[in-house]
């Protein structure tokens, strides 16, 4: 049942007609639990509330299936505005960006041009930016663009997905760039030809990646809600005397907030991935696919209404 639900919601996440309907009808069907509003102003209020609790943030202006240049201009402007607000308001926040929202599916050159605009402002304001990883078909392009941009910009990181067979080699190839990497299990539906089909193997690979990247001496964001991943990380950093300044934990907005607070209270840097915007549908469907328990939160919300 769990596997069927995951496949069902991942299939829905790629439905363009549903994406358009979701934009039209707003944050309903429980999405508000995982998305911090439609506007920049709502996102800023959510960031401030988390900062007051001692939680850091990485903020994502949601957007998928961009099929025209005008939409990328709007998204670049929104990202630049958020960077400026982060500096002005002195928020403990970073920015996460998907290359598809920058026009990657239109052309590599457009995505690169748009990222340079964002990163120039980020360098000026000293706001860190992470290039999110998307599905396998865009993995190599994302890494290639990251490598190119990393030659010019310091406030830049990216993501490695543990369910991909290639993940360990990618970390080794990136090692010389001393990259800040967010390490995740992976949230897209992939073929067993390119990704581990069994959860146990994904878990084991994520643990290997965390240790490998930390031992390389590079900054590591452990992005998982899984207690085993968290405890393995804590145990490893204590054994190897890895300083608190070399790693952080990351979790998604609306998922396990009590655990997030617990880690922050223990002195670990805990960063919350906070998405906002009207283009929330694909993101929301992947959250439902990741954890069946999320579906019941939605159902309860609908019943209460």
Q: Identify the pLDDT of residue 10.
A: 46
Q: Is residue 96 part of a domain?
A: yes
Number of domains the chain is built from: 1
Q: Is residue 247 part of a domain?
A: yes
218, 198, 254: which is closest to 33 by C-alpha? 254
State yes or no: is 226 an active-site residue.
Answer: no
**pTM, full prediction:** 0.87
Q: Is residue 1 part of a domain?
A: no
Q: Is residue 239 part of a domain?
A: yes
Q: Identify the pLDDT of residue 305.
A: 38
User: Is residue 22 over pLDDT 60?
Assistant: no
pLDDT tens profile 90-104: 999 999 999 999 999
Q: How far is CA 58 from CA 9, 14, 130, 162, 279, in A?
A: 25, 24, 9, 20, 17
Q: Is residue 23 part of a domain?
A: no
Measured CA to CA, the distance from residue 248 to residue 242 in angstroms comes to 12
**Active-site residue, selected from the candidate residues 75, 182, 271, 286:** 182
User: Is residue 41 over pLDDT 70?
Assistant: yes
* Assigned token pair, 282: 């694909």
159: DSSP letter: E
For residue 152, give its domain range: 36-279
118, 71, 81, 68: which is closest to 97 by C-alpha? 118
Percent of the chain with pLDDT over 90: 74
**Active-site residue, selected from the candidate residues 6, 60, 75, 132:** 132
Q: Identify the pLDDT of residue 287.
A: 66
User: Is residue 61 over pLDDT 70?
Assistant: yes
User: Is residue 291 over pLDDT 60?
Assistant: no
Measured CA to CA, the distance from residue 47 to residue 86 in angstroms comes to 9
Q: Identify the pLDDT of residue 105.
A: 94
> By three-state DSSP, how is residue 68 classified?
coil
Q: Is residue 257 part of a domain?
A: yes
Q: Between these two residues, 83 and 188, which has the higher pLDDT value?
A: 83
Q: Domain containing 99 — which CATH number?
A: 3.20.20.220
Q: Identify the pLDDT of residue 35.
A: 86
265, 277, 194, 180: which is closest to 223 by C-alpha? 180
If you average pLDDT over residues 62-68, what whole number do you get? 81
If you average pLDDT over residues 199-209, what whole number do you get? 97
Q: How far is CA 111 from CA 55, 157, 159, in A?
A: 31, 16, 17
Q: Is residue 294 part of a domain?
A: no
Q: Is residue 170 part of a domain?
A: yes
State yes or no: is 182 an active-site residue.
Answer: yes
Measured CA to CA, the distance from residue 97 to residue 142 in angstroms comes to 11
pLDDT tens profile 145-203: 999 999 999 999 999 999 999 999 999 999 999 999 999 999 788 999 999 999 999 99
Which stretches of 162-265 are assigned E, i.e. beta strand? 180-184, 220-223, 247-252
């Amino acid at each position: 049942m769990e596997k069927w639900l995951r496949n069902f919601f991942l299939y829905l996440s790629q439905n363009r007609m549903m994406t358009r309907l979701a934009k039209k009808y707003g944050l309903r069907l429980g999405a508000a639990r995982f998305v911090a509003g439609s506007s920049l102003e709502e996102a800023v209020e959510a960031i401030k509330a988390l900062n007051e609790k001692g939680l850091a943030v990485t903020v994502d202006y949601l957007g998928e299936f961009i099929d025209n240049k005008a939409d990328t201009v709007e998204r670049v402007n929104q990202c630049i505005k958020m960077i400026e607000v982060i500096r002005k308001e002195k928020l403990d926040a970073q920015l996460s960006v998907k290359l598809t929202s920058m026009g990657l599916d239109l052309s590599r050159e457009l995505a690169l041009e748009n990222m340079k605009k964002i990163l120039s402002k980020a360098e000026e304001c000293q706001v860190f930016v992470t290039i999110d990883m998307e599905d396998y078909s865009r993995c190599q392009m994302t890494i290639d663009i990251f490598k190119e941009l990393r030659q010019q910009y310091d406030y830049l990181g990216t993501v490695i997905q543990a369910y991909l067979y290639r993940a360990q080699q990618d970390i080794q190839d990136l090692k010389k760039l001393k990259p800040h990497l967010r390490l995740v299990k992976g949230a897209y539906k992939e073929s067993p030809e390119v990704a581990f089909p069994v959860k146990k193997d994904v878990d084991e690979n994520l643990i290997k990646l965390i240790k490998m990247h930390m031992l390389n001496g590079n900054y590591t964001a452990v992005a998982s809600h899984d207690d085993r991943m968290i405890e393995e990380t804590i145990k490893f950093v204590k054994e190897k005397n890895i300083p608190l300044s070399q790693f952080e934990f990351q979790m998604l907005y609306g998922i396990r907030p009590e655990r997030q607070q617990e880690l922050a209270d223990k002195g670990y840097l805990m960063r919350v991935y906070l998405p906002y915007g009207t283009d929330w549908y694909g993101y929301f469907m992947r959250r439902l696919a990741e954890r069946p328990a999320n579906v019941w939160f939605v159902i309860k919300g609908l019943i209460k209404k």
